[in-house]
């Protein structure tokens, strides 16, 4: 009988198998086999292991089974804007993984890094770092630092992009590289970026700081093209009926969008090729999104509804991002996520710390009922 029956089962069939791929590397497959057998991972968190000259260098994984392997480190390669890699460049990264690690790569993590796994010594980590640096790549994104700033592919491949996210990621990574590589906060800051309100980058759900492309004016409607689309079977009436804000009116000749109702949700833009995002473009910033932490999963809250982005220095965005980081640095507790900090001190107090003027666009959650709780004297004593 095989020593790895669980992995053998996962390797069967003609389809791609992660177990089959792991067997082809020097990864200690017994660790995964035991994890499936015991229904509990055999790896433990080991903190960070510094690469010489780099504070936020590598992640250490301790082993619960030293009889199989004592430990294993991994180094994160800071991802390229839009996650575009030349094929020959990727082959070079694979050779580095074969040379210094166990021959496996964790590609495009939840933070859009590439992780070179199975490093056993400081010399291995130093060698990986030097060879990656020679290729023009940085490493880091570990520990209590600003993590790698993932972005969607933006206008490089997407028709809905409102802002140039790859260019913005390139700027932010260079501007904040010290805070990415040298931890200075009480806990990590994960930043996610989406190029439009469709939010493919999961900034609201996963980002301590979310940067989302938005537009302030109304969607642009090409009525001539819209009539042609409707004449070819497009159901514009159904789109109007399903508008979440009931902001659209169609008279068989012209589509009118009510600016007081429209919430720029992208629904009509996604459904109708004749409707495009508006031209007054910028970004919104959310804070506090996460999947884990003291208070569990949280969705990000809007703190800056609209910020103009002006290359090449993006002064308005940098000013807002710096303020968010400074408040977290000053008031966040050790190992406390940003959303948990806001929950602890209160959203109103947090906005005051940021120096943000409160507006109707900033709220913790939608109202659960329509009754506004006036003061008792305003209701004639009735409560």
**pLDDT score for 94:** 95
Q: Are residues 14 and 70 in the same domain?
A: yes
**pLDDT score for 380:** 60
CA distance 318 to 40: 43
Q: Are residues 209 and 342 in the same domain?
A: yes
Q: How far is CA 33 from CA 38, 55, 105, in A?
A: 9, 34, 19
**pLDDT score for 373:** 53
Evaluated on CA atoms 97, 102, 108, 114, the torsion sign reads negative
Q: Are residues 206 and 342 in the same domain?
A: yes
Supply the CATH number for residue 30's domain.
3.30.70.2500
Q: Are residues 183 and 287 in the same domain?
A: yes
211 φ/ψ angles, rounded to the nearest 5 degrees: -115, 115
Distance separating the N- and C-terminal Cα atoms of the chain: 75
**pLDDT score for 122:** 84
Taking a C-beta distance cutoff of 8 angstroms, is the pair 117, 104 a contact? yes
What is the enclosing helix (H) or strand (E) of 361?
none
**pLDDT score for 79:** 86
Supply the CATH number for residue 262's domain.
3.30.70.20
Q: What is the mean pLDDT of each run of 10 residues along the chain (383 residues)?
A: 90 93 94 96 82 74 93 90 93 96 89 90 90 91 89 94 96 94 92 95 94 96 96 94 94 94 94 96 96 88 94 96 97 95 93 88 60 59 51
Compute, in degrees rounded to 10, the torsion defined by CA atoms 19, 24, 30, 32. Answer: -30
Q: Are residues 287 and 211 in the same domain?
A: yes
CA distance 230 to 271: 12
pLDDT digits (tens, 9 = 90+) for 5-52: 999 999 999 999 999 999 999 999 999 999 999 999 999 877 777 676
Taking a C-beta distance cutoff of 8 angstroms, is the pair 223, 274 a contact? yes
308 φ/ψ angles, rounded to the nearest 5 degrees: -70, 140
Supply the CATH number for residue 200's domain.
3.30.413.10
Q: What long-range pairs does 253-261 form, CB within 8 A, spacing at least 24? A: 253/223, 253/227, 254/223, 255/221, 255/223, 255/226, 257/218, 257/219, 257/221, 259/218
Determine, yes or no, domain membership for 38.
yes
Q: How many domains does the chain have?
A: 3
CA distance 334 to 294: 12
pLDDT digits (tens, 9 = 90+) for 329-370: 999 999 999 999 999 999 989 999 999 988 877 765 555 555
């Amino acid at each position: 009988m095989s020593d790895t029956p669980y992995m053998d089962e996962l390797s069967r069939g003609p389809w791609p198998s992660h177990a089959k791929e792991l067997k082809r590397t020097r990864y200690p497959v017994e660790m995964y086999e035991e994890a499936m057998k015991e229904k509990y991972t055999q790896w433990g968190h080991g903190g960070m292991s510094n690469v010489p000259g780099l504070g936020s260098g590598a992640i250490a994984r301790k082993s619960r089974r030293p009889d199989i392997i004592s430990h294993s480190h991994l180094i994160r390669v800071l991802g390229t804007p839009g996650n575009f890699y030349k094929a020959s460049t990727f082959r070079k990264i694979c050779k580095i993984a074969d040379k210094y690690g166990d021959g496996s790569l964790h590609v495009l993590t939840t933070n859009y890094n590439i992780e070179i796994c199975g490093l056993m010594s400081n010399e291995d980590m130093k060698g990986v770092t030097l060879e990656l640096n020679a290729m023009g790549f940085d490493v880091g994104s570990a520990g209590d630092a600003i993590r790698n700033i993932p972005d969607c592919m933006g206008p490089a491949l997407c028709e809905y992009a409102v802002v140039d996210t790859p260019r913005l990621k390139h700027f932010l990574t260079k501007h904040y590289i010290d805070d990415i590589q040298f931890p200075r906060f009480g806990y990590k800051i994960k930043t996610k970026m989406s190029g439009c309100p469709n939010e493919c980058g999961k900034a609201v759900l996963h980002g301590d700081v979310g940067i989302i492309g938005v537009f302030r004016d109304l969607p642009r409607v090409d009525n001539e093209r819209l009539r042609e689309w409707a004449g070819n079977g497009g159901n514009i009436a159904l789109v109007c009926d399903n508008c979440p804000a009931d902001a659209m009116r169609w008279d068989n000749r012209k589509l009118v969008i009510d600016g007081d109702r429209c919430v720029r949700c992208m629904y009509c833009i996604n459904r109708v090729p004749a409707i495009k995002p508006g031209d007054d473009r910028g970004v919104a910033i959310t804070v506090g999104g996460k999947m884990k932490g003291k208070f569990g999963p949280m969705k990000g809250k809007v703190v800056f509804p609209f910020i103009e982005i002006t290359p090449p220095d993006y002064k308005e965005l940098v000013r807002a991002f710096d303020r968010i980081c400074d408040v977290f640095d000053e008031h966040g507790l050790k190992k406390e996520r940003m959303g948990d900090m806001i929950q602890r001190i209160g959203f109103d107090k947090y906005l005051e710390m940021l120096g943000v003027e409160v507006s109707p666009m900033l709220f913790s959650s939608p109202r659960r009922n329509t009754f506004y709780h006036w003061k008792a004297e305003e209701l004639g004593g009735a409560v």
